[in-house]
A and B are shown apart, each in its own frame.
Chain A
Amino acid sequence: MTTETLQAPVPRTPLQEFWHYFKGNKGAVTGLVFILIVCFMALFADIVAPHSPSDQARDALLLPPAWMDGGNWAYFLGTDDVGRDILSRIIHGARLSLSVGLVAVTASLMIGILMGLVAGYCKGVVDTIIMRVVDIMLAMPSLLLAIAIVAILGPSIVNAALAISIVSLPHYVRLTRAATMAEMSRDYVTSSRVIGASPLRLMFVCILPNCVAPLIVQATLGFSTAILDMAALGFLGLGAQPPTPEWGSMLADALQFVQRAWWVVTFPGLMILLTVLAFNLMGDGLRDALDPKLKQ
């Protein structure tokens, strides 16, 4: 009789478990891969891009993409009305879009977590005041509020990022507050409090780590909103100012050439679409993997 030793299955670490669920979602993995590519492009834009984003090739105005008649392989996606390489501008634009997204999401995430934690922890008057402020911010459509903020502060990329982070704040506050209130009634929080943990420790060490999952999901989706809003502001001329290569403003500048040169409009538009789609898909995947309760 052979004795086989039965091995108990090694329990997965939380990270492995997350990856196991996440990789089952093909759309989410595709999104992740695309985002990684865009990040790579953004980080190494100077090396990856074949030309400088502001170099004007005077002999190659409105050149079609390389695979079309009259295209030139030196300018893979063609050139715009002053002879700038569209591919290079898109690559450099990725740097801008991603950094604006990163700044906006980080800023509103940090302030939002702080306000949400305080509101959920303190309750009472503080909670009421914070939530009223949030309600008022939600009382205006976010894009309109962003446009208004930029209109007041003056159009620039920094103000646009600021506006986007202000308008996305309410979502983070509400999420953190709801999660904090749910955690506050748990036994482990009560016992830490009995042991004598300070309010700060309770908030940041005990409660916060347990609220992270929905926040990660919201932050990912926040990235896509930030890129969309940024492009919309750029399109209206309220975001990045020319000649900065920004996807939205590239599209707006090229609008008058749409009849003669479809590629100057199509490629920046496609890039916005794909990047936002990638973030949305990844956000969906993250939500399903991190927070199965929310699964649709």
Chain B
Amino acid sequence: MKLQGKTWKFGDNINTDLIIPARYMTAYEAAELGKHCMEDADPEFSKKVQPGDIIVAGENFGCGSSREHAVLALKGAGISAIIAKSFARIFFRNAINTGLPIIESPEAAIAIKEGAEIVIDLTTGRIENLTENQHFAIKEFPEFLTKIVENGGLLKWATREKKGPIR
């Protein structure tokens, strides 16, 4: 699976209140939440971002609340993947469970600049920065997590494992 997009850079500890403020959480559809994604960091973000774009961030991305609305808002805004130095744990599992590709790579998170055109090849485990001619290797996920992501999320994986409806 290959993802290509322009990057948007954010710093450390980007929390879920910033990704999607609670005041918009009377909605839970990705398209609606996407309109307010990152609004308190950059009010114009959802207008500027293009489908397929990729977020590059610092430490502890997605810290704070367990709201899966954060993952949905990012997806709804058109974000196709997130590269960060590290991810907060509930955001990490929400991304895995819903099949949003997340890549923990401190090197790539530091080196890639905002606006770069990059390609993430999840099959070969490589990030290519087309703008700066850089390459980064992606650390492999544990097998258990890879299976969930490859199946498109936790519930699809579980359905596949049981070879039928989970329940």
Binding between chains A and B: no
- Measured CB to CB, the residues of B under 8 A from A are none
- Measured CB to CB, the residues of A under 8 A from B are none
